[in-house]
């Protein structure tokens, strides 16, 4: 008697990754392509997106690049329509696009910085998920993966707008998971720890951040920074049939940082 194990393949699936032309987003886009999915990149920098699109197509799958700022609400529906026209109905949405506003704390937080962080991380995730889910409901299946953070859980004194937005991502993920499960749509989140991206470069390279880096590495049981590719495996799992009974979770990819 033989049993068939879970499938981690994404062949025949269509995925869209916001902010998919750099850092964690690029790694997830390439991970999906390696698993067989066609992948659309939704990001502002057209030159970077074109480069990653070529990387994806070199893996033998179709790709599309959509130039889009996720805070431009009017552009979201046409952007997703463009993706589906190019690649087919959407099966997987990854809400990855983000930024950071190191304000130094709420006493120094500007209103514009706050509004931009909430718009980029939280509002765009809700609006894009609403659009994608509307399409997915027609087929009775779909996967939505949101990018949370360790600062969804821990206090982020120096960047309260980022922490508030990422905390909201966790609750939004849970709410959408409950609402959309009857339609065959799973909604989960990934909470990266300290990953080597452009966003974290100052903490790695600036001497003024040396003590901070020492502290975070001492707190991380694995004792090192994570790589963007180490978030891609979690995304492929959550997007695959192997995770067909998983919804509403926030999966840490942080080298054990959240254990303490």
The pTM of the whole model exceeds 0.75: yes
Q: How many domains does the chain have?
A: 1
Query: For residue 100, is pLDDT > 90?
Result: no
Query: For residue 57, is pLDDT > 50?
Result: yes
For the segment 123-139, what is each residue's pLDDT rounded down to a tens digit?
A: 999 999 999 999 999 99
Query: For residue 2, is pLDDT > 70?
Result: no
Q: Identify the CATH number of the domain in which residue 121 sits.
A: 3.40.50.720
Q: Please tell me the predicted confidence (pLDDT) of residue 216.
A: 86
- Nearest 10 degrees: CA dihedral of 64, 67, 72, 78? -40
Of residues 57 and 101, the one with the higher pLDDT is: 57
> For residue 6, what pLDDT band results from cuts at 50, 70 and 90?
confident
Which residue, 24, 77, 21, 27, is CA-closest to 44?
A: 21
Q: Please tell me the predicted confidence (pLDDT) of residue 1.
A: 47
Where in the sequence numbering do the catalytic residues fall?
Answer: 162
Q: Please tell me the predicted confidence (pLDDT) of residue 198.
A: 82
Give me the domain span that covers residue 116.
14-255
> Is 3 within the bounds of a domain?
no
> Is 89 within the bounds of a domain?
yes
Query: For residue 239, is pLDDT > 60?
Result: yes
> Is 244 within the bounds of a domain?
yes
Which residue, 129, 93, 113, is CA-closest to 20?
A: 93
> For residue 3, what pLDDT band results from cuts at 50, 70 and 90?
low
Q: Are strands 250-253 and 185-192 parallel, antiparallel or unpaired?
A: parallel
For the segment 189-236, what is each residue's pLDDT rounded down to a tens digit?
A: 999 999 998 888 888 888 888 888 898 899 999 999 999 999 999 999
> Is 111 within the bounds of a domain?
yes
Query: For residue 155, is pLDDT > 60?
Result: yes
> Is 1 within the bounds of a domain?
no
């Amino acid at each position: 008697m033989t049993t068939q194990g879970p499938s981690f393949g994404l062949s025949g699936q269509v995925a869209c990754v916001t902010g998919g032309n750099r850092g964690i987003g690029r790694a997830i886009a390439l991970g999906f392509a390696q698993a067989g999915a066609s992948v659309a990149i939704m990001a502002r920098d057209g030159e970077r997106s074109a480069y990653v699109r070529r990387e994806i197509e070199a893996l033998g799958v179709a790709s599309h690049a959509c130039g889009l700022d996720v805070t431009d609400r009017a552009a979201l529906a046409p952007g997703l329509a463009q993706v589906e026209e190019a690649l087919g109905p959407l099966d997987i949405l990854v809400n990855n696009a983000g930024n950071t506003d190191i304000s130094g704390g709420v006493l120094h937080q500007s209103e514009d910085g706050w509004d931009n962080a909430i718009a980029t991380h939280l509002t765009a995730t809700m609006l894009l998920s609403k659009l994608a889910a509307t399409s997915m409901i027609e087929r009775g299946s779909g996967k939505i993966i949101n990018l949370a953070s360790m600062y969804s859980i821990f206090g982020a004194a120096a960047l309260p707008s980022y922490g508030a937005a990422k905390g909201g991502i966790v609750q939004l993920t849970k709410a959408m998971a409950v609402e959309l499960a009857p339609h065959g749509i799973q909604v989960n989140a990934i909470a990266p720890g300290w990953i080597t991206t452009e966003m974290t470069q100052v903490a790695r390279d600036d001497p003024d951040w040396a003590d901070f880096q020492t502290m975070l590495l001492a707190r991380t049981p694995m004792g090192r920074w994570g790589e963007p590719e180490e978030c891609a495996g979690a995304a492929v799992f959550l997007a695959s049939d192997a995770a067909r009974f998983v919804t509403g979770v926030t999966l840490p990819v942080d080298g054990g940082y959240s254990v303490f």
